[in-house]
Structure 1
Amino acid sequence: MTQPPMPALPLPLPLSPLAAVLSMLMRSTLRRHPAILGRMGAAAGARFLIDVTNVPVLLLIEPALRRARVLPRSARPAHDAAIRGRLSAFLSMLHGAEDGDALFFSGELTIGGDTAAVLALRNALDDAEIDLTEEIAGLAPAAGPMARRLSGLLERRTGLSLHRVTETEVRE
């Protein structure tokens, strides 16, 4: 199910702290799901430009280096592959709420550059069955219950998919 259009999100934080948090989240996720890099093979060395069109920054992720860089939209960093689309499409694909192939074929997500690397990344993330809420809660276990409640509230208010969709939810 496609989410309603969401207005562009403002960026309340300076880029450096946001990049540090995203890199920490990436490192933690790769520790909790070590098969991701193995599943990606050589594509783990690629630089992926993530262009979330309704967010005022770009994200450059380098899985093998366990690094995420947040850049102003005006920057165009060197990259091997690019994925572009709305935040709702990225989150729906990550959490299994919508089929990644369908999102690409419908044009909700578009790719450029090394398509094999994009496919490797998507397949590795699908296999890992990542739940963003649980990954965030894992960064500070004592704050986990609060993170889960906040995520549920944000999900209900925004319509974004912020947790892994279960088989029961898919059937409903």
Structure 2
Amino acid sequence: MPGWGKAATGVLMALRGPVERLLTLALRRVARLRPDVFERLGEAGDVVFIVAPTDFPVAFRLRPGRGSGEVQVVRGDDEALHAARISGPLLTLLALFDGRCDADSAFFSRRIRVDGDTRAVVALHNTLEAAELTLADLLGVAPAFRDRLNAGLAGALDRLRPAGAEA
């Protein structure tokens, strides 16, 4: 993880509690408001995914769990039991989540890497794609403000992306 030292990783790990609570609440909110999303996951709803940004010192351990799911912040090199690991630049992973980046293109161009149970990853991808979720949905933003927030977030993420880099 270029640019991140052990001290920065330690600070992020020490502050992980609020991030874990926020992301877990968001995951459970989506499960409550959109149960169809979790039903579509099938058996993959019970597996553990590691989402590991390659340019960030921490990763996210995701267990969708059909309403009782959780997200944990773990060290980037965490190898705890998981079914699949999805790795790539943070901005690419975020763009995959909200559909601004084509998953097949990102995979075949090697911007992301998938290890482990590819069937579970394909189920997760198909579910997210069909759900058409946005970052505003994950944050629980009121419908009246979603379009504006999504546009602002997309613009901010585009400005953060290095020149010439794809989402």
> TM-score category by the smaller chain?
0.7 to 0.9
**Aligned mates of 1:115, 1:57 — CA distance in 2:** 22
Q: Is the 1:134–1:148 Cα contact (8 Å) retained in structure 2?
A: no
Of residues 118, 122, 125 in structure 1, which corresponds to 2:121?
A: 118
Matched, 1:45 2:54: no
Q: For residues 153 and 52 of structure 1, do their structure 2 counterparts lie closer, same or farther at Cα, with a shift above 3 Å needed? A: same
Structure 1 portions without partners, runs of 5+: 1-6, 162-172
Of residues 45, 56, 75 in structure 2, which corresponds to 1:72?
A: 75
Quick one: percent identity of the two aligned structures? 28
Q: Per-residue deviation at 1:76?
A: 2.3
**Aligned mates of 1:123, 1:110 — CA distance in 2:** 17
Q: Is the 1:91–1:160 Cα contact (8 Å) retained in structure 2?
A: no
Q: Please give the secondary structure, in 1, of the residue aligned with 2:106.
A: helix
Matched, 1:156 2:159: no
Q: For residues 158 and 99 of structure 1, do their structure 2 counterparts lie closer, same or farther at Cα, with a shift above 3 Å needed? A: closer
Q: Please give the secondary structure, in 2, of the residue aligned with 1:134.
A: helix
Within-5 A mapping of 1:54-133? 54-64=55-65, 65-133=68-136
Question: What's 1:30 paired with?
Answer: 31
Q: For residues 137 and 100 of structure 1, do their structure 2 counterparts lie closer, same or farther at Cα, with a shift above 3 Å needed? A: same
Q: Per-residue deviation at 1:154?
A: 4.6
Tell me which amino acid in the other structure corresponds to 2:114: I
The normalised TM-score by structure 1 is 0.75
Superposition CA RMSD, Å: 2.8
Q: Please give the secondary structure, in 2, of the residue aligned with 1:130.
A: coil
**Aligned mates of 1:49, 1:16 — CA distance in 2:** 17
Q: Is the 1:92–1:160 Cα contact (8 Å) retained in structure 2?
A: no
**Aligned mates of 1:29, 1:160 — CA distance in 2:** 28
Runs of 4 or more above 6 Å deviation: none
How many aligned positions are there?
Answer: 150
